[in-house]
Homo-oligomer: A and B are copies of this chain.
Amino acid sequence: MKPFAPKPGMALAGLSTPVPVIDEAVLAGNIARVQSYMDEHGLAFRPHIKTHKIPALARAQTDAGARGINCQKVTEAEVFADAGFDDILITFNILGTEKLARLAALNDRIASLKVVADNGITVAALSRAFANGKPLTVLVECDTGGGRCGVQTPEDALALARQIVGSMGLNFGGLLTYPKAFSEETVERWFAGAVALLKDAGIECPVVSSGGTPSLFSAHLVPTATEHRAGTYIYNDRSMVRAGHCEYSDCAMHILATVVSRPTPDRAVIDAGSKALTSDLLGFADYGYLPDYPQAVITGLSEEHGVIDLSKVTGERPAIGDRIRIIPNHTCVVSNLFDEMVFHRDGLVSRVEKVAARGLVW
Contact = CB atoms under 8 A, between A and B. Distances in A.
Contacts of A262: 119
Nearest to A329: B279
A333 B275 contact: yes
A354 to B, nearest CB: 12
A361 interface: yes
B148 A258 contact: no
Contact of A320 (B105, B122, B278): B122
A125 B50 CA distance: 40
B121 A321 contact: yes
A342 to B, nearest CB: 12
How many copies of this kind of chain does the complex include? 2
Interface stretch (A22-30, A92-100, A127-135, A198-206): A92-100
Q: Which of A125, A274, A332 is most buried by chain B, counting CB atoms within 10 A of its CB? A: A274
Contact of A359 (B269, B279, B302, B337): B337
A229 to B, nearest CB: 14
Interface in A272-301: 274-276, 278-281, 300
Interface in A44-84: 50, 72-73
B302 A148 contact: yes
A206 to B, nearest CB: 23
A361 B338 contact: yes
A263 B338 contact: no
Nearest to A105: B1
Interface stretch (A12-20, A218-226, A238-246): A12-20
Interface in A99-156: 99, 101-102, 105, 118-119, 121-122, 125, 143, 147-152
A148 B97 CA distance: 47
Contacts of A125: 321
Contacts of A307: 147-148
Contact of A303 (B98, B119, B258, B332): B332
A165 interface: no
Contacts of A99: 16
B95 A263 contact: no
B92 A304 contact: yes
A72 B336 contact: no
A303 B231 CA distance: 12
Nearest to A259: B95
A338 B274 CA distance: 15
A260 interface: yes
A334 to B, nearest CB: 10
A149 B1 contact: no
Nearest to A149: B261
11 contacts: A4-B98, A92-B271, A95-B321, A118-B261, A119-B320, A121-B320, A149-B261, A149-B263, A150-B263, A275-B361, A279-B333
